[in-house]
Every structure is written in C-alpha cells, then in structure tokens.
Amino acid sequence: MIAKRLLAVLPLSLVLGACAIHQNVTPVAGVDGKQICVVLNPKVFNEGFLKSYENALTRKGFEVKELPVDSSLIECSLVSTYTANWYWDLAMYMNYAEIKVYSNAKPVGEAIYDSRHGSANLGKFIKADVKINELVNQLFPAGAQGAGNAAPLRTTGEAAK
C-alpha cells in the first residue's frame, strides 16, 4: 500500500521539482565606503533593471557611479556587474538575474535569481523591481558603511554638466 502511494507521488514530485525557482545570495560583508560603481551591461535590454538596481543601492546608502561596459574591476574599490534576462510565457517576466560585487577586483558577494526551470510555477511572474530590491537587501544587509542619513549623490559615467 505504501509502495503504491510512493509510486503515485514520485512522478508528481519530479514534475514539481523540475518547476523550481532558485535564489541564492552570498551577502557582502565589511563594505568599505559609500560609493559603488556599476559596470553598464548593454545586453540587458530592459532599462528598468538598472534603474531598479541603482535605486535599491541608493536606499541602502550607496552613492552609485555608472562605468562604461569595458571598465576594469579596479576602476573603483567596490564594483558591481549585473545581467538579467526576460522571457515570454503568457506575459513578460524576469526569468534570470545575477548581480556580482567585487572589492578591489576580488569577488565579495553575489545574488542569483533563476526561474528558467520554473515553467509551471506561477511564482515566476514577479515584479522585477520588487525582486531586485529583495536581492539587494540580502546582498547588502548592513548597507553602505557609515552612510548615515545623508542623501546619496547619483552620478553617471559621463562628465558632470
């Protein structure tokens, strides 16, 4: 009797397991300074991702400076790279996001959201802005060191006008 129940449940658990959404965050510890440089990724066609990422960093007390796509990881003491993909399945949704953080060109943190294998999982239809904010909160639990309540300055890779 128990064997029959296990045989009946096994295929269902395999199907549901194949529809998993994964999220893994390695938090950044001991952030040095308030400025973080973000290397622009022109392969991320959704401009809202970068805006959401920068806004989340600003809320954590960082001053965000954009760097051109070909920038080195040693341009700033704290540098971040990102990638994200969207997919269509009844609606457009963010199916993958990866944020990496480097301190003095050494990896110090990473956040990955992956719903590429969540085909039957309706949890994949998330608001990207909310998910990005969640990833940043987990990635930088302490925020920018010494940021206080000062209004951060957002700069771009272009010269000040």
In sequence order, what E strands does the chain have?
Answer: 22-26, 35-39, 63-67, 78-88, 92-103, 106-114
Token representation of residue 158: 């272009």
The pLDDT, as a whole number, for residue 73 is 94
Q: Could you please report the per-residue DSSP string of 47-61? A: HHHHHHHHHHHHHTT
pLDDT in tens, the chain (161 residues): 554 544 444 343 334 444 576 778 999 987 778 999 999 999 887 778 999 999 999 999 999 999 999 999 998 999 999 998 876 566 555 788 899 999 999 999 999 988 755 454 444 446 677 888 899 999 999 888 733 333 332 333 333 32
What's the whole-model pTM score?
0.72
The SS3 call for residue 112 is strand
145: in domain: no
CB of 63 closer than 8 Å to CB of 154: yes
Residue 144 lies in a domain: no
User: Would residue 13 count as lying in a domain?
Assistant: no
129 found inside a domain: yes
- Asked, for residue 151, whether it belongs to a domain, the answer is no
Number of domains composing the chain: 1
Can you give the residue range of the structural domain that contains 27? 21-139
* pLDDT computed for residue 122 by the predictor: 42
Question: Would 81 be classed as within a structural domain?
Answer: yes
- For residue 111, being part of any structural domain is answered with yes
Q: How far apart, in whole angstroms, are the C-alpha atoms of residue 101 and residue 131?
A: 17
Confirm whether 42 is domain-assigned.
yes
